[in-house]
Structure 1
């Protein structure tokens, strides 16, 4: 159980009230952002931090811009946009150059702490520890160091590095702040028990819980309930169930979806009589959590799309339109000339027709592969990842594939649904206990100007990549990022699987992807030189 909300509050408070780290000048947008954050109106706070960042950059105030970036990154992490949060934090680091300045050092410490927390949630534990080490390198304040000591020990415990965790926890337990002390007390007792199963950690566990109850530290109480439930899991099922229910009750009270899912995961195991009720509730809350995080990603991406950037893009489009009109005049002259060599063109029509027949055969072959083979494989993947097999639903999906195969030459994707949802559902269908999929930037605005033909090709290409991942890559994490830059749509696919060599690209189903991107005047790049996994970049014009 991670006290994430508590850690964010501590860092946010640090940015808003630490007098020795006052910005170089008062900024209306920055002050407005702080007031919205204090009122827990997070979306507005993010928007005003973004405006403040732009204002600071215009006045060459790199520290103010960096602090705005850090607060934006913390808000993104708090809403589950962990990849976006790390990207925003890295932008802040680029502005923090003078590492001798105490204010910059404390800002760097908070920023690296945020990247460490985000990496931990993404299960990149080694990277998380590296970020925490950088955090401690720049930390100035002793109380903040106590927070960071607790944070790094959490990750080390997850890695099973108990001795290293104990070193940091012995430093953290010296904290004067009761929240940090109770956190360290609870974690240190947990480490001692994990090292020696004969050790009795209950006095420390209950002492930490008592401190948290007195301080009305709800997030801390949740951490204690989770620890006690895990401790009693094999010793006393009734007590373990009691603390799991306590965790669910407080998590529901503070509307923490992530804590509710943790509680329900325990109840599914501990309370077999109510297994179906708890399992259904877990699925509902888990789905709500994923929807909330996906919405946050798209919302934050839209907010950062500055008005100034839109203005520049409009000016660029006007210039492109002027050039296009000039080009049309030249095209008219070319068409006149084309009339005279038209007869020569007739001589090669027969050859072109023969080639067209071959291309049609190839296209039909690809559609059989995409619509039938990949469609069936997608249904198989869903069945494989479902604990409760829904026979009727599976039959309905197989019937859908059958109906599409009857008129395969007219196969179109996403006509009945908004296309961004079709893509999100496609990628999410490959989620399983061993594979986690992530989507970024997939909003309806990207797909509005895209033709139905291009959408069809994009859908099939993404499905081909996902099927290839499922069959061959052994990946545990897959991320697909969508972005519209000027008049181009860029799609970045990345997984952490075994990767592929250049020789294998032609031999597997990915040859269809390479062929398909050419039909919409796009390009594809396979980056097999990365340290681990596969990275594929797809790019095609809007029109």
Structure 2
């Protein structure tokens, strides 16, 4: 802050000393002066009167510059100073001025702060709960607009406190539950633990015993403040007392008494002593009157009027069965103090006991009935007003959102219509200029692809034919010559028949390789039959085939897949020494995928590249715009991944 003040002073000094010959305008001087006095007014170490003078000077330098951001901030600071100086009439005037200006400039951030400030004023100073509730609600809405989740929760918290104070426990429970959804677990731990305590009190007043105790315990466990923890523990003890569990209350209160922090807070210390005495009395333990009068004396000394109400109530109840006259005196004191503090509920509680002492006293009965009726009417009015505020606010927010949505949709429609026109004109020109080029390019590209595919198919066919020719010459021809020699030499006919049977099986295999593939309904059986013939010494595992819609796969794809898998199985049988082969089928909207794996000896990348059969598979797959990738290392099995467009 000191650095900012120094810079502002230097800026003001330079502005003043360069007025002649350096093009510094009066506007710049006014701006510097306004900023200087604004910073001075914000400095909390300055006396209030000095800050008040500074903020007025800053505002004076900003005449006819209401659109500047500094003007809004200055008005807000002026409101803060009026509140601190207890100049509440001026606060009202400048609050209206600021809100009107911020609404015109759509300054949601400053609106949220000003509404909160006025909520605080009506809550703690003017003591107008309905107005405070209204202002906090406005602050909450504007915090939502600027996505300040933490402060949304804090405003809801204040609204819930007001509802609880005015016995709208159900409404308070709903509001505080909503607040917990917005509070930040890392930044707002104090508010979160206090919210749990408020929620516990709401449940306590609504006679939800277990829920009340649960949330008191959550408040105690979540707070990081020793002072707050004592308050929450004391509240839990009071809840135990209300729910006729004095033993639990006594144990907890005795534990609190040993906490050193308690001695620093005389108000809470007196409350613990009074609650402990009352709990012991309810538990039928021997309790002296001094156990109640001692905390009463502390409360009187500290001017704790609310605490005195509790002490008078407990003393009246204590003396009720043993000294009716003293009981009446304490209940009379309770009535007088409740009237002074304007707490009719406490007066009604005292009258309830006095009617027990003096059942024939008509004045007591009439006053009790009057208070009961007026309290019911007042509380109903307040609850209804709170509910109406929330309901009206919900309708207003829905209306705002609906209007914003309609405006956005209308603007979007206009923009889309404009874009459509622009795009249609541009598209027409683009089509006219590029259609000839694109057509020519596509035709040429199609021809190239077609020619490339033809060449690839021919190459694959020639390679397959060459391989079959070599196999026919080497294997089939050799065995045939061997059989002929055996016959010429008069060898055992059984040996000749064995060779002939082998030749017959080989001829069938050659036939399968050469013949066209059945791509009809029996394709799946034909494919699996072919795969099975290669697995005499290996286990074949096929997965995913049931999920494949084979009817949707083209005949060309079926033929290619058949030939490629046949080549892979041939490679496995000849070279891999595999004991297990796995083939997985998978079909998506765009891709038909087949994954082949075996646990054979594998091969190096160089060996794979030198194998004509595997090279043929690549050519076949390329011809139908698919892809095949091989993964293998020496001694680590063999894997092939085939992907074909649907």
Length-normalised TM-score, structure 2: 0.43
Q: 1:273: how far off?
A: 4.0
Asked whether 1:59 is paired with 2:143, we answer no
Structure 1, gaps ≥5 residues long: 1-16, 18-23, 320-543
2:191 maps to: 107
User: How many pairs were matched up?
Assistant: 292
1:302 maps to: 388
| 1:199-348 equivalence runs, <5 A | 199-274=286-361, 276-304=362-390, 305-306=392-393, 308-309=396-397, 311-312=399-400
| 1:524-539 equivalence runs, <5 A | none
Asked whether 1:91 is paired with 2:175, we answer no
User: Which one of the candidate residues 120, 127, 143 is aligned to 1:34?
Assistant: 120
1:177 maps to: 265
1:77 maps to: 164
Asked whether 1:48 is paired with 2:135, we answer yes
Asked whether 1:192 is paired with 2:280, we answer yes
Q: 1:162: how far off?
A: 2.3
Q: 1:313: how far off?
A: 8.9
- Asked whether the equivalents of residues 80 and 296 of structure 1 are also in contact (C-alpha less than 8 Å), the reply is no
Q: 1:225: how far off?
A: 0.6
Does the C-alpha gap of structure 1 residues 111 and 203 become closer, same or farther in structure 2, counting only changes over 3 Å? same
Q: 1:139: how far off?
A: 1.4
| 1:398-409 equivalence runs, <5 A | none
The CA deviation string for residues 71-127 of structure 1, in whole angstroms up to 9 with x for no partner, is 00000111111111100011111113x53x1x4221111111111112222222222
The CA deviation string for residues 172-198 of structure 1, in whole angstroms up to 9 with x for no partner, is 43412111000000111222233344x
Distance 1:165 1:233 in 2: 22
- Asked whether the equivalents of residues 54 and 65 of structure 1 are also in contact (C-alpha less than 8 Å), the reply is yes
- Asked whether the equivalents of residues 257 and 285 of structure 1 are also in contact (C-alpha less than 8 Å), the reply is yes
- Asked whether the equivalents of residues 182 and 208 of structure 1 are also in contact (C-alpha less than 8 Å), the reply is yes
Q: 1:233: how far off?
A: 1.1
Distance 1:273 1:288 in 2: 23
User: Which one of the candidate residues 185, 201, 205 is aligned to 1:121?
Assistant: 205
Name which one, 1 or 2, has greater alpha-carbon Rg: 2
Distance 1:61 1:206 in 2: 48
- Asked whether the equivalents of residues 150 and 169 of structure 1 are also in contact (C-alpha less than 8 Å), the reply is yes
2:476 maps to: none
Q: 1:142: how far off?
A: 1.4
User: Which one of the candidate residues 168, 174, 177 is aligned to 2:252?
Assistant: 168
Distance 2:382 2:278 in 1: 34
Does the C-alpha gap of structure 1 residues 314 and 280 become closer, same or farther in structure 2, counting only changes over 3 Å? farther
Distance 1:76 1:215 in 2: 27
| 1:370-519 equivalence runs, <5 A | none
187-196 or 59-68, larger mean C-alpha shift: 187-196
Q: 1:293: how far off?
A: 1.0
Distance 2:350 2:280 in 1: 24
- Asked whether the equivalents of residues 257 and 286 of structure 1 are also in contact (C-alpha less than 8 Å), the reply is no
Distance 2:189 2:255 in 1: 21
Does the C-alpha gap of structure 1 residues 315 and 64 become closer, same or farther in structure 2, counting only changes over 3 Å? closer
Distance 1:166 1:294 in 2: 36
Higher relative contact order (CA closer than 8 Å, sequence separation 6+): 1
Q: 1:141: how far off?
A: 1.2
Q: 1:312: how far off?
A: 4.6
- Asked whether the equivalents of residues 192 and 201 of structure 1 are also in contact (C-alpha less than 8 Å), the reply is no
Distance 2:189 2:129 in 1: 26
1:145 maps to: 229
User: Which one of the candidate residues 214, 221, 235 is aligned to 1:130?
Assistant: 214
Three-state SS of the structure 1 residue aligned to 2:303 is coil
Distance 1:125 1:218 in 2: 28
The CA deviation string for residues 228-278 of structure 1, in whole angstroms up to 9 with x for no partner, is 11111111111111111111111111111210110010011012341x221
Q: 1:34: how far off?
A: 1.2
Distance 2:378 2:298 in 1: 32
Does the C-alpha gap of structure 1 residues 200 and 167 become closer, same or farther in structure 2, counting only changes over 3 Å? closer
Three-state SS of the structure 1 residue aligned to 2:364 is helix
- Asked whether the equivalents of residues 50 and 68 of structure 1 are also in contact (C-alpha less than 8 Å), the reply is yes
| 1:356-371 equivalence runs, <5 A | none
2:94 maps to: none
2:452 maps to: none
Distance 1:131 1:78 in 2: 18
CA-based RMSD: 2.6
Length-normalised TM-score, structure 1: 0.51
Distance 1:273 1:228 in 2: 23
The CA deviation string for residues 506-529 of structure 1, in whole angstroms up to 9 with x for no partner, is xxxxxxxxxxxxxxxxxxxxxxxx
Q: 1:315: how far off?
A: 6.0
- Asked whether the equivalents of residues 241 and 271 of structure 1 are also in contact (C-alpha less than 8 Å), the reply is no
